[in-house]
Amino acid sequence: MDAEGRAGLDRVAKSLTDAWNAGDGVAFARCFTTDADFVNIFALHVVGREAVAKQHQFIFDSIYRGSRNAFSVLKARALAEAVVLAHIAADLRVPDGPLAGEIKTLASAVFVRDDVGWLIASFHNTREQQPTGTPD
């Protein structure tokens, strides 16, 4: 992946961060294709930009109200000319409620490029946690 392509992915990560921190589900969903698949840390699977917007607005207004998040692309590799697999880290800080504290996640994301730029076609988010029964 060339520097220009990587810069495009980083812009999407910044847009995700900005939208999250503004509590704006519609802006968050603009980073996704119209038919995107999104799987959250609880294995809830929604399909489509509209569903991504609705689900995120719900959590911005409830369990993640007032939270701050920072998304960053850790690694990216081209699968085809306009298709990239990326791993995106997120560092979420929730001020209060049932999920108060820090939540770190790692997502696998498939990006596709169109005439405008990069969009996420698939996003599968996983919460970082030590599995039981494994060494530290």
Q: Would residue 49 count as lying in a domain? A: yes
In a domain, 31, yes or no: yes
> What's the whole-model pTM score?
0.93
What tens digit of pLDDT does each residue of 14-58 get?
A: 999 999 999 999 999 999 999 999 999 999 999 999 999 999 999
Nearest residue to 66 (alpha-carbon basis) of 14, 20, 104: 20
* Residue 85 DSSP code: E
Residue 135 in domain: no
Integer Cα distance of 61 and 101 in angstroms: 17
- Residue 132 falls within a domain, yes or no? no
- The domain that holds 59 is classified in CATH as 3.10.450.50
Residue 11 counted as domain residue: yes
Residue 136 lies in a domain: no
Residues in the chain: 136
Cα 79 to chain centroid distance, Å, stands at 19
Q: How many domains does the chain have?
A: 1
Query: Is a pLDDT exceeding 80 seen at residue 133?
Result: no
Any idea which residue has 């490029």 for tokens? 113
> Which has the closest alpha carbon to 111: 80, 132, 65, 134?
80
Could you tell me the residue range of the domain that residue 98 belongs to?
3-127
Distances (CA, A) of 11 to 8, 73, 118: 5, 10, 9
Q: Residue 134: inside a domain, yes or no?
A: no
Asked whether residue 89 is assigned to any structural domain, the reply reads yes
- Cβ-count burial of 47 within 10 angstroms (0-12 exposed, 13-18 middle, 19+ buried)? exposed
In tens, the pLDDT along 72-94 reads 999 999 999 999 999 999 999 99
